[in-house]
Chain A
Amino acid sequence: MQNLGVNITLEGNNINTHVISYTRDVDICSGVGTLLMVVDKNTTVSIGDAVRIFEGGTKVGTFYIGTTSESVKDGTISLNCQDMSKYLQSYFIATMHNVGGGSSKYWIEQVLTWAKVSYNFTTASNGYALPPNTKIGLEFGYNVVLTLCQQSGWYFYFDGEGVCQIGELSTSWSNPQFTLAESGGLILSEQLVSDDSQLRNRVVVWGGSVPGGTTPYEVYTELNVTTPWDRDANDKRTIVYSNNYIRNTGTAWALGKKLLDEYSRTVSLKTYEIAGAFGETIGTIGYFDTYIYNGTGIVTSLSASVSSKGFVTTIFVDERCPRQFGYWSLGAEYVYVGTNGNGIWRKSLDSSTWSDWSTGLTNLYIKDLKIKSGLFACTSNDYRVYYRKIIDSSWTVFSPTGFFDGDLVEYELDTLYSAGCGIDETIGKIIYGFTDKTNKKSWIVTRYPSGEYSITFVTAENGEDRYILKDVDTNTVHTVATALTIVDVLDPTTTAFEDAEGLPQSVFQPITETYSIDPRLVSLGPKDTGNVTVTSELTLSQSLAVHYIPDGIMYALTKSGLYIKNLDTGSLSSYAHGGSFTTAKTYIYPETDDFIHIINGVTHWTFVPSTLTLTNISYSAVGSNNMMVGKIVFHAYGSSIVGDGTAHLIAYDVTTQTNVDVQTSTLFVEATPYTTTSTSVPFVCGGKVYAGSVGISYTDNGSDVDISIVKAKMYMNLDGSSGGYTTESIIAENFVGYNLSASGGASYLTRNKGNDAYVYEAGGYSYAPIPYLGVTNIRAEARVANWYTGGSSEISSQTFDSSQATGLTTWEFAHCDGAGGISFGGGGGTSFIGRTSALVVISHSTDLVATSKHAYDLKGGTNFSVNSWFGSYTRYSKTINEYDGTILAQNGSLAIKSLDFGGNEIATLVGASYNHDTYVHLPEHIIEFDLGATSRIYSYANPVTLGDLPGPTTSGVGGVVLRANPIVASGDTFGAVKFTTYPLEIEVSRESPFVFFGGIVTTSGNPGGTGEMWLSAYVASGSFVSVGDFIGLPLDTMGYYPDARVGDVLGLSSTSTSGWTYAQNPNSFARYIYSLRPYRSIQHKSGLYFREAYDYFDSWKYFEGFPGTLHKCELSNYKFSSPYTFVSSSGYPSYFWQLNPGYDSSFVEYSTGLPNGNITVIRLDDRI
């Protein structure tokens, strides 16, 4: 025994030479330690003798002999021993005691004292207060202590000295106390067992009877969750917990939540046999870097076996305790943020200090970050992906190779882009998405704990393999991905074609020359200035097909003419030959990665020719606020084409005021985007705008910054081509707000440093700052700026403040997009055409300074908006999303250019294309369509959510369900399980459900509009959408969803306008979806909203508002009745708020110390 580092004493005497073998077991679930020891027959033993075990020099237990049995044959004595729990288990409380409302701690102390057991409380809490009418007695002391510990969230065990240690298990998943690694060479064997024997998704808690005056009641509560392992809605696996000591529903709820937290998962038990003493006790958290598991875990049982065969310790990790739950407390944990350009930062939950956690990252533009059980994965905005263990000092780049498509063409890693990541925490497996945006190929790479990896080429069951992956994630059961997909490829030479809309099939024949149209942005203007002409007479014997690229809809008509489909009604417009027709489609593309996406409003087309000879095709925007954007490609199909076969499309370029032959790759440019019949003043992009006299000054008095709009008047030319001036005032005065006061003819905005400035419009509407034209360069900030126009009176003075700068000038405000400040360029006494602006987010501590800067480095920025003011009460917003690169607001030519890191232009919006009704998104990389070379038109449409192979349905009902399979194996194909409008982001909070969200603000004018949110599993009014199926949530007023989480909250209640409260006596449990409303609209505040995840008919409720545009949020998962909640919003650096658990907590800002890069993701370890 001495050679094994073990010493054993019996009543203080070393008996090493007498011990033949022993096995020592201790487990956290029962708190009981046992020892089975075999000694030789010469050992003198007596019942009750104390045996003390020292392993590796540490006393690991004191055990008392309970049974001895001697074998004459073997000459041995077997000793069955138990630690001090033996005396607690044996002690029977023979008297019934009325507890009289005492605390759990008090009565535990009483029982332990009666049982002569030494104890120590590791918590200062008194534990749960027992009901007044509760009685204790006529049962064994162990059972009483265990029950009272259950209610108080405590565990207990007997230490090496035999002292009963009681309290919460203080854990820190971020600071594992030991590492068990394969490389250590100590592991003899390892085993991972997963089973659903302890999976429960419903708990019923019964408590005691409460007198309650004339209406006594029984304490009762029921909680339900849906787990990924649920077979369907009927698959309810129930825990019934009955405890007479529970005296109110709130306690019952809290216990029920703890039970569900503990049991709404499958068992994932890790068992390791290691050589020699372990050196740690139960309850310690370690990091396991092993073949079967990679992540943190808690040691729940130990079994040390010493014999002639050696010393082997078996440790059991992450067991589920049937009788104890929720017994751990949160130690020092961290919240992490990924940023654009500054890597990953973290701060302790109880600290305000941020620290850089980016060591090892070679690309600091973080797109995705996942953390589960101490295992980290992140992706960047290029091909680089990383992983890190909590025990590591730096990130490790993961560079898989072997990306082959279906034709076995290999793709190099550095030509791809990463597309999200996910972690299967049951084994510590990471999945990464990769995509080739040019060739529209995608892969999912799975990295296993052993370091091995597999690569799966994303191929649908129908053979489709052209996907641009957006995001991937896993909940251990399902692996899903979202992607942008190609609906179809129109190949004019194909002999048969059926379009995605099920329209008539046709055979497309290309005209003799295909057009090379710059794919990045083409806007077709109205007929008066933007005619598109086929210069060469093109006579079609049959018909004309129109492909409207941004929508991806394809038209194949049997009649000659020009058609477009009304996407809202799904019907084709009437035959448009020579007539006009309308599409009401508002088209949206969110933050996809390859295109300039344009949203158009109501579009009216007029198709001029009344014959089959098309000589002058025009498009016009009819009515106000209308325009046509998008890319139009004409294909004539049919058997005969008359003409020279070299039809050209001509667009009028408002910048050069010339016709442009688009065949030569010139951009279609927007001319005057609309005409108006409104008497209100339009702000015409492309028209001429004259800034009249505007005087703006500011003073910084040290604590406040006063902005004075002295006078302002704007004249503008309603008709850019006619030259006639129509003067209208678009500038109001008398800005009134919290800190505003009018002085003479001036108005003032006073911004208290460090505070928000509020300005309201008189009509009760609240807007983001209105981009009044300034003639000076002002940089100001307004964290929440709700502006007020006090009236429509015109400022008569036309004096131009010549002291101000001339030319294109800019205002800049912090938190500009939508709800915050705004940046805008105005005229400086000279005319300019259109206008351009870009927003930058500046430090809130920045004082007003003058600047002439009008080119902004937007690295790290996002959501750059161009807002225009139209009329008195209509506001339009333009948003430009740019995750990296540079937006250049170019003076003179009035262009917004998107530049890549190398300064290369990747997109340009020339002229007034950023008009009032257009959202332009400039994602990071623009890829051109290749129209000319291949005669093939790639039409992007209907992004889909991908899942892995559908498996057999468990209900016998048809439909597609996800295969319950956590492994994406090479050769697997994917089933498109849900078509969505946009490629959405994926979030799986805890185990279920998957939440798919995204979309974009689409309405012209006020922010808002449509977005999408889908759940992977849903229970609504008794009907069940199987796990793997999807159902859309009613959009309500949420609009675009920039982020979402699912969390369990105790008794949360709210109204839609006054924020939230926690019910003091909750009687219901809910799993809520939290999401952000990023923008302010007339009716609804920007802020954090929530709704019940499993109540289809629930509505979004306002939770908390924040200044700026909201970007990301995060919740904690376990333990707390009200979870940790985090929110970030626009700022420079981003703003960050934290809500601690507790009914009376409020959000606290922790922005100081954050880097400038915009926050792209917030994460806690999912185990928290």
Chain B
Amino acid sequence: MSKKLYASITGITKPISISVSSAYTNASDVAIIKAESTTLSIGDAITVDMGYTDDHAILFTGYVKRVERVYPDNVYTVTAYDVMTRAVDYFIASTNPNAPFKRSKIAAETLIGEVLALAGLTNYQGDATNFIYGWTVPVEVNLIGAYDFCKQLSDLVAWHLYADVNGKIWFVDRKPYAEVGDTPTYTLNENKIITATRSDSDDDLRNRIVVYGNNGVFAEAKASSPYLPSGYYKTAVMSATFVDQQWVADDAASYNLSKWNRLRNSYNISALGNTNITARKIITVETTPIATQDDWFVYSVEHLLGTSGYTTNMELRI
């Protein structure tokens, strides 16, 4: 039974196609809209509400970053990023080169909050990490993008930093796979799946983590992997001058080893359009010929709406 498509986009009345993509690894969600006309211009706030007339949701809010017009096709292409783009755009360069941004004995979540605030992102919530930086030497933040720095802090504790569709920034302990205790919020039936690909890979696997800090602080965490030859280690190196305590380095190495010493189990699915499936959610995928029913973490998702209908492409991790 066919359903009528729905799209309501700020400043666009006749969209030709809409693509809203979000991924665990991306700094920002991205919306790309083709339309016959638009009143949008650079910097405009934009909201994308899409789906079906009887089932739609706001899947994107952000800022217009690019407007392209082509003639004689006379088609506009509008590209927008979510609020995290503010942190991406914000390059920290101290007003006084001799007095850069510095903090001492500051928790990771607090430091992230303060750096994000420099970029005007104050709608932020960070969970407690118990990571404290700047014990002996203040953490100096200068000549680096705000997002890059925050991402560095986030990666060090193996956490996740992202903006939700309401424009709120979250700093949480969210691993890129389904964990014990996760509660699925949606069940994807096989009859809604158009195509699916199941794959496993050791590409992301790291079974040795090395952390370099300041003043000789060094930590190493490693473990054997059943997927690698015995005694063979794939190493990830993390370096941060603001790590000046051994226990911080030790914990960082340990946490990241736990996060990355595993296979990448992926499930790529193209399904009928579904606004319930968004990045970072846990969904249940019913049994298919290539996988039994299980709960999956939505690692990335792309909602496509156009003349071909509405489809949702996703990469799931477990």
| Complex contact A964–B89 (CB within 8 A) | no
| Complex contact B42–A196 (CB within 8 A) | yes
Distance, CA A518 to CA B226, complexed state (A): 99
Verify if A830 is at the interface (C-beta below 8 Å from B).
Answer: no
Contacts of A189 in B (CB 8 A): 70-72
Verify if B2 is at the interface (C-beta below 8 Å from A).
Answer: no
Q: How close is A225's CB to chain B, nearest CB, in angstroms?
A: 15
Contacts of B120 in A (CB 8 A): 231-235, 955
Most buried by B among A233, A291, A964: A964
| Complex contact A197–B118 (CB within 8 A) | no
Contacts of B79 in A (CB 8 A): 195
List the A residue with the shortest CB-CB distance to B44: A964
Contact with B along A949-976 (1 / 0, CB 8 A): 0011111100000011111010000000
Q: How large is the interface on A (under 10, 10 to 19, 20 to 34, 35 or more residues)?
A: 35 or more
Verify if B194 is at the interface (C-beta below 8 Å from A).
Answer: no
Q: Which of B44, B68, B117 contacts A951 (CB 8 A)?
A: B44
Verify if B238 is at the interface (C-beta below 8 Å from A).
Answer: no
Contacts of B259 in A (CB 8 A): none
Q: How close is B43's CB to chain A, nearest CB, in angstroms?
A: 4
| Complex contact A195–B69 (CB within 8 A) | no
Contact with B along A281-308 (1 / 0, CB 8 A): 0000000001110000000000000000
Q: How close is A426's CB to chain B, nearest CB, in angstroms?
A: 8
| Complex contact B89–A235 (CB within 8 A) | yes
List the A residue with the shortest CB-CB distance to B70: A191
Verify if A476 is at the interface (C-beta below 8 Å from B).
Answer: yes
Verify if B93 is at the interface (C-beta below 8 Å from A).
Answer: yes
Distance, CA A255 to CA B69, complexed state (A): 33
List the B residue with the shortest CB-CB distance to A967: B39
| Complex contact A204–B39 (CB within 8 A) | no
Q: How close is A480's CB to chain B, nearest CB, in angstroms?
A: 15
Q: How close is A907's CB to chain B, nearest CB, in angstroms?
A: 43
Q: How close is B289's CB to chain A, nearest CB, in angstroms?
A: 41
| Complex contact B143–A240 (CB within 8 A) | yes
Q: Which of A222, A238, A290 contacts B91 (CB 8 A)?
A: A238
Contacts of B119 in A (CB 8 A): 234-236
| Complex contact A965–B66 (CB within 8 A) | no
Distance, CA A189 to CA B120, complexed state (A): 40
Distance, CA A955 to CA B94, complexed state (A): 24
Contacts of A672 in B (CB 8 A): none
| Complex contact B71–A291 (CB within 8 A) | yes
Verify if A193 is at the interface (C-beta below 8 Å from B).
Answer: yes
Contacts of A199 in B (CB 8 A): 42
List the A residue with the shortest CB-CB distance to B120: A234
| Complex contact A237–B90 (CB within 8 A) | yes
| Complex contact A477–B41 (CB within 8 A) | yes
Distance, CA A969 to CA B44, complexed state (A): 16
Verify if A218 is at the interface (C-beta below 8 Å from B).
Answer: yes
Distance, CA A193 to CA B79, complexed state (A): 11
Verify if B167 is at the interface (C-beta below 8 Å from A).
Answer: yes
Q: What's the A-B contact tally at a CB cutoff of 8 Å?
A: 113
Contacts of B236 in A (CB 8 A): none
List the A residue with the shortest CB-CB distance to B94: A204
Contact with A along B58-97 (1 / 0, CB 8 A): 0000010111111110000001000000100111111101
Verify if B123 is at the interface (C-beta below 8 Å from A).
Answer: yes
Q: Which of B44, B45, B65, B93 contacts A197 (CB 8 A)?
A: B65
Q: How close is B87's CB to chain A, nearest CB, in angstroms?
A: 10
Verify if B40 is at the interface (C-beta below 8 Å from A).
Answer: yes
Distance, CA A964 to CA B91, complexed state (A): 24
List the A residue with the shortest CB-CB distance to B97: A220
Verify if A1040 is at the interface (C-beta below 8 Å from B).
Answer: no
Q: Which of B39, B66, B86 contacts A195 (CB 8 A)?
A: B66
Distance, CA A268 to CA B140, complexed state (A): 37
Verify if A206 is at the interface (C-beta below 8 Å from B).
Answer: yes
Verify if B10 is at the interface (C-beta below 8 Å from A).
Answer: yes
Mostly helix, strand, loop or mixed at chain A's interface? Answer: loop
Distance, CA A231 to CA B67, complexed state (A): 17
> With A194-B42, A966-B41 as given contacts, are A956 and B123 in contact (CB-CB < 8 Å)?
yes
> With A196-B65, A235-B90 as given contacts, are A951 and B42 in contact (CB-CB < 8 Å)?
no
Verify if A266 is at the interface (C-beta below 8 Å from B).
Answer: yes
Interface residues of B in 90-125 (CB under 8 A from A): 90-95, 97, 117-120, 123
| Complex contact A231–B39 (CB within 8 A) | no
> With A192-B69, A195-B66 as given contacts, are A240 and B41 in contact (CB-CB < 8 Å)?
no
Interface residues of A in 43-78 (CB under 8 A from B): none
Contact with B along A212-230 (1 / 0, CB 8 A): 0000001010100000111
Distance, CA A1008 to CA B86, complexed state (A): 45
Distance, CA A193 to CA B45, complexed state (A): 18
Verify if A190 is at the interface (C-beta below 8 Å from B).
Answer: yes
Interface residues of A in 980-1033 (CB under 8 A from B): none
Distance, CA A222 to CA B41, complexed state (A): 29
Contacts of B70 in A (CB 8 A): 189-191
Distance, CA A237 to CA B63, complexed state (A): 15
Distance, CA A222 to CA B95, complexed state (A): 7
Q: Which of A191, A196, A966 contacts B68 (CB 8 A)?
A: A191
Q: How close is A879's CB to chain B, nearest CB, in angstroms?
A: 42
| Complex contact A196–B43 (CB within 8 A) | yes
Q: How close is A94's CB to chain B, nearest CB, in angstroms?
A: 30
Contact with B along A935-954 (1 / 0, CB 8 A): 00000000000000001111
Most buried by B among A194, A220, A229: A194
Contacts of A202 in B (CB 8 A): 93
Contacts of B256 in A (CB 8 A): none
| Complex contact B41–A954 (CB within 8 A) | no
Distance, CA A477 to CA B41, complexed state (A): 7
| Complex contact A191–B117 (CB within 8 A) | no
Q: How close is A422's CB to chain B, nearest CB, in angstroms?
A: 15
Contacts of A291 in B (CB 8 A): 71-72
> With A218-B97, A238-B91 as given contacts, are A964 and B65 in contact (CB-CB < 8 Å)?
no
Verify if B47 is at the interface (C-beta below 8 Å from A).
Answer: yes
| Complex contact A954–B45 (CB within 8 A) | yes
Interface residues of B in 33-60 (CB under 8 A from A): 39-45, 47
Q: How close is B100's CB to chain A, nearest CB, in angstroms?
A: 11
Verify if B306 is at the interface (C-beta below 8 Å from A).
Answer: no
Q: Which of A195, A197, A235, A956 contacts B167 (CB 8 A)?
A: A956
Contacts of B69 in A (CB 8 A): 191-193, 292
List the B residue with the shortest CB-CB distance to A424: B41
Verify if B11 is at the interface (C-beta below 8 Å from A).
Answer: yes
Contacts of B90 in A (CB 8 A): 234-238
Contacts of B117 in A (CB 8 A): 234
Distance, CA A773 to CA B40, complexed state (A): 63
| Complex contact A237–B44 (CB within 8 A) | no
| Complex contact A190–B47 (CB within 8 A) | no
| Complex contact A240–B67 (CB within 8 A) | no
Distance, CA A199 to CA B71, complexed state (A): 25
| Complex contact B66–A193 (CB within 8 A) | yes
Q: How close is A1068's CB to chain B, nearest CB, in angstroms?
A: 12
| Complex contact B65–A195 (CB within 8 A) | yes
10 nearest CB pairs, A to B? A234-B120, A195-B66, A229-B43, A964-B44, A238-B91, A967-B39, A204-B93, A238-B93, A193-B68, A192-B69
Can you identify 14 A-B contacts, CB atoms within 8 angstroms? A191-B70, A194-B66, A195-B65, A196-B43, A228-B43, A229-B42, A235-B90, A236-B91, A240-B91, A291-B72, A292-B69, A963-B44, A965-B39, A966-B39
Chain B contact residues, CB within 8 Å of chain A: 10-11, 39-45, 47, 63, 65-72, 79, 86, 89-95, 97, 117-120, 123, 143, 167
Q: 14 extra interchain contacts, Cβ-Cβ under 8 A, other than A231-B63, A240-B143, A954-B45?
A: A193-B69, A194-B42, A196-B89, A197-B65, A197-B66, A199-B42, A228-B43, A232-B120, A236-B119, A237-B89, A237-B90, A238-B92, A292-B69, A965-B39
